[in-house]
Amino acid sequence: KSFKDATLFFSRDSATLATVIPAMDKIDSMLATAVLKQASGQTKTFSTPIKTALLSAKKTLNRYYASAYYTRVYRIALILHPRYKLEYLTDNDW
**Contact 24/38 with Cβ under 8 angstroms?**
no
Q: Which residue from 14, 16, 13, 28 is spatially nearest to 73, judged by alpha carbons?
A: 16
Give this prediction's pTM: 0.72
Mean pLDDT, rounded, for 53-57: 88
What does the alpha-carbon distance between residue 19 and residue 17 come to, in Å, rounded to a whole number? 5
pLDDT tops 70 at residue 48? yes
pLDDT tops 80 at residue 37? no
Convert the pLDDT of each residue in 8-26 to its tens digit: 888 988 788 888 888 888 8
